[in-house]
Amino acid sequence: MTSRSVQFRLLRSSLILSVLFLLLSPPGLLQAAAKAPDPDRLQLGSVSAMVSDLNTGEVLYAKYPDLQMPVASLTKVMTAVVVLESKAPLNSYLEIQRVKNATGKNAYSRLRNDSTLKRKDLLRIALMSSENLATYVLAQHHEGGLEQFVADMNRTAERLGMNNTHFDDPSGLSSGNVSTARDMSRLLREANRHDLIREYSTTGQFTARFRKPRYVLGYGNTNRLVHRRAWDISLSKTGYLTEAGRCLLLSARIDERPVSMVLLNSFGKLTHIGDAGRVKRWLQTGDGGRLATAAKRYQADRIEELLAGLKAPSKATTN
């Protein structure tokens, strides 16, 4: 056999092995080998953000991830974790009693006083439609009542290593519910372990059926991305308070990679949705798109306020 023949066979074998490697390698391995997009090409209107690989925890992008700020209704994800970990029966009907709202926030609810709804349905409308009174009903029927429920929320945060997080109430109406993008990433990863949180938070439409008296109410998901076919979302929660701006907690599969996004404090009704789209585009193409002038001005002003008197954390990093 000539040396040329040997070289040809070796080259052919090498090519075959390379093709087999590409075909048989897990997608995650190939993605890990790919070069991460340039964080400087991603512009977000959110004051604070963190984008991570949901499976490995690898940080893909971070923007002021350790700035503590109100998290509004993202709080309800922790509420759901505490409810499910309590092992309380989900099919039990709970009586709805209005509570005195000490936060001073508008907590309008369509739930009728003294009617009853299953615990699992209260949890669903709290997650998908951000029903505030539903969270208080869940907390009131927790062993030990509302006070113990909030204590368990903070105890769970401590267990998860959410060291810059504190909860005052189960709904997020209190601006005393504060956290960071890094801490909320930990919560998002924990919440993804619960099938029901994933299911309930991504329900598009739901009809709740009450008893005593009997009536029905229709609910829709507060995150419009849930309704878009271009997104493969596994968990979703929006939030808003004047003090918190627009917030979004999201896990989704992007090009076969499970990704978590935490977006805190953005301007206007759509900037957090736009930010999610910019993150997706950045991960797929390396291009983070553009940001409206008003959103740029808002986040710059908020960052300046939050950093006043503090040592500024790193602005944007990848791990």
Active-site residue, 73 included = yes
Q: Which of 58, 27, 51 is nearest to 281 (CA)?
A: 51
**Alpha-carbon Rg of the chain, whole angstroms?**
23
Active-site residue, 86 included = no
* Torsion angle, alpha carbons of 180, 35, 37, 248, to 10: -40
**Which of 48, 52, 129, 130 does the annotation list as catalytic?**
130
Respond yes or no on whether the N-terminal peptide bond of residue 65 is cis (omega within 30° of 0).
no
Q: How far apart are CA 297 and CA 217, in angstroms?
A: 40
Q: How far apart are CA 120 and CA 200, in angstroms?
A: 9
**Which of 46, 48, 52, 73 does the annotation list as catalytic?**
73
**Which of 46, 52, 63, 76 does the annotation list as catalytic?**
76
Enclosing H/E stretch for 11: helix 3-24
Active-site residue, 5 included = no
Could you tell me which residues come within 8 angstroms of residue 212 by beta carbon, excluding any fewer than 6 positions away? 114, 115, 116
Q: Which of 210, 235, 232 is nearest to 221 (CA)?
A: 235
Structure-token match 């391995």, residue found: 29
Catalytic residues: 73, 76, 130
